[in-house]
């Protein structure tokens, strides 16, 4: 199981939001490159970077900073936030991303097929849930489409990996949405990464038992409630024994 430390970029700082609300922001570093290096020094094998400004404005805003992060670490980086065109995806891969995360663009009947044809398994789709429906445009809008229905359609279209977040849990340290995750995983054959609410080793182990390929962890790591080493041990322990 892969543990993805989250680095969310807002105004060129590393921050965390609560439930995706830009008005509920906590800064955790004025130098996101140093933050990225710190997680790698602690043993991270992947990083999860989101351009929040890009997500809110509809196009990448931190490509230069993302490139600095990608070039400064020795592990792969998955990047999301405002990637709504094939040109955006080209740009983020040129910046050094190993994997690109699309959300809003996944519902575009022209963009997604073009992206999958060009980049294949380097594309992951973020399914962000608000009351069971797909949230889009930086979580500021909700589509009239159930997450499970979207997952079925996207899996049939050839999406190779999903990242599932229950927005109500994100940044709240209330535990992951294992029920929503199970419903999603039941209808897709692709790997699913679980995000939102991870607060403890028990949460990581529960996600592993539920079949998550990985977990994205943000606030719990930054607050010091959970160490990266302990999170990795919990995931590995379950992989060996569950």
* Cα radius of gyration (the chain): 16
- Which of the following is catalytic: 53, 128, 177, 203? 128
Task: Establish whether 128 is a catalytic residue.
Answer: yes
CB 66 within 8 A of CB 51: yes
Active site residue 8: yes
Which are the catalytic amino acids? 8, 128
């Amino acid at each position: 199981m892969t543990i993805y430390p989250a680095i969310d970029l807002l105004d060129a700082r590393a921050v965390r939001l609560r439930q995706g609300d830009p008005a509920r922001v906590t800064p955790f570093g004025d130098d996101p490159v140093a933050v990225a290096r710190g997680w790698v020094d602690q043993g991270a094998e992947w990083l999860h970077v989101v351009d929040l400004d890009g997500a809110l404005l509809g196009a990448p805003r931190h490509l230069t900073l993302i490139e600095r992060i990608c070039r400064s670490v020795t592990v792969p980086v998955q990047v999301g936030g405002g990637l709504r065109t094939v040109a955006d995806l080209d740009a983020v891969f040129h910046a050094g991303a190993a994997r690109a995360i699309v959300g809003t663009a996944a519902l575009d009947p022209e963009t997604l097929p073009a992206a999958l044809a060009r980049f294949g398994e380097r594309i992951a789709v973020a399914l962000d849930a608000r009351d069971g429906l797909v949230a889009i445009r930086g979580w500021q809008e909700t589509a009239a489409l159930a997450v499970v229905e979207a997952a079925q359609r996207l899996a049939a279209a050839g999406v190779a990996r999903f990242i599932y977040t229950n927005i109500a849990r994100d940044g709240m340290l209330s535990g992951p949405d294992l029920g929503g995750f199970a419903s999603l995983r039941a209808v897709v054959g692709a790997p699913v990464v679980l995000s939102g609410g991870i607060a403890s080793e028990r949460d990581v182990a529960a996600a592993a038992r539920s079949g998550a390929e990985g977990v994205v962890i943000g606030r719990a790591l930054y607050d010091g409630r959970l160490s990266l080493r302990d999170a990795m041990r919990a995931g590995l322990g379950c992989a060996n024994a569950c």
